[in-house]
Structure 1
Amino acid sequence: MAFRSREMMKKIMKKIGGEKNLAPGVKESIQKCTPDSKVVMGRAHRGLYAGRHIQFGNRVSEDGGNKTRRTWKPNVQEKRLFSYILDRHIRVKVTTHALRCIDKAGGIDEYLLKTPYQKMDTEMGLFWKAKIEKMYEELGDMEVVFFSAEDEAKFEEGFKELKLAERGARREARRKMYGWSGKSEHVEEGRADIDGTDNEAARIGEGSSHSNIHEPLVANF
């Protein structure tokens, strides 16, 4: 067992009050659920790293072969991953290796469900895994009801009417907020009528002028 796993087990035993308060076999099951990794960064607790953490080594110079200690940090990206059970995007920090694992599993939900607890070595991963497992369990206990085509059409009409009512309420709220009134609408309608009559008069005038041009000229003696 790694150092981090031993420290977590010590904290759990301290909160419980010692191994004497545990039933036989419970300690082994808790050890299976605790992450077993060597080094976990502080920021790794707030993302999905899939086992990729800080690596330590030496930098060797080309001339004299001198060695100096150095570290390698993982390639971390901030992504928005869509969860079907939550029906929304989850903004999370992930490594490129974790992204490949998520794509291979078929999505963030499938990745969290398929990955065992001992390999989910970050606190955020454990939190999302437990939450999504609980939601899928509740979804499995729900009863499924199928509606006929007529009922679905009625539901669709009801949703359309609800949307229209919502749009009307928003329009009225905007009018009250910005001080709009019905007078401006009547003024605009009046202007439109006046413009329409002017256009008709102009058309009539143009037609009369064209007709006068094409009439034959008769000389008066």
Structure 2
Amino acid sequence: MFSRLTAYLDSIVARDPAPRSRFEVLLYPGLWAVGWHRVSHRLFNARLFFLARAIQHFSRFLTGFEIHPGAKIGKHLFLEHGFITIGETAVIGDNVTIYPCVTLGGTNPTNGKGGKRHPTLEDNVIVGAGAQILGPITVGQRARIGANAVVTDDVPEGATMVGVKARSTLVKVETWAKDFMPYGTPCKEPCEPSGQRIEDLEARIVLLQAQVEELLSDRELAGGPDAPVSRKRTRS
């Protein structure tokens, strides 16, 4: 048991630059939230639903994390700061990192039955702050969900999702980053082709504005504002 706890603490230290030692990690509310969930989940599986819920509410009061007792959580889950909601049928793999204000939410079943309503996060997934992952979808291994993204469809393994509704960036994460990416959101490289495209479009707008101004000037010189626009071609 002690070796498992040590491995868990070390996994958090490896993903968080803030703690100076394992002892600091012992004070993390996310660590305690996961610990209380282990207890409530066992009670839930034993069909002691009221006790499981009671422990869950106690944990939420102390830590600020809302984890349903029915959720299945793998090894070394790192919950960085609070206000994270994890639904009843959510499944979380090993070494998953979730940043603040994330919701693993459910969708309304159309058949009137509960069933699988919440997402599945496979191993080594990183979910950025404020992201919303909704419905019985699967987020593949090593996928990154960017901050404030809204994900409602399956995410391929290794993809990086950004935006509302979330879409994959042009460069998959496995082609350029093998190590852990803090905060889950690429800052430059994967989005660089999109940024270059925006710069090109802005340059074209400036060029078009100059051409329009030249056409208006030609029309005024040709005979006033009511004169037909000159067909003079402007080289770009």
Whether TM-score is above 0.5 comes out as no
Give the alignment's TM-score, normalised by structure 2. Answer: 0.21
Q: Max radius of gyration: which structure?
A: 1
> Which structure carries more relative contact order (alpha carbon 8 Å, separation 6+)?
1
Higher normalized helix content (fraction of residues) = 1
What TM-score do the two structures reach when normalised by structure 1?
0.23
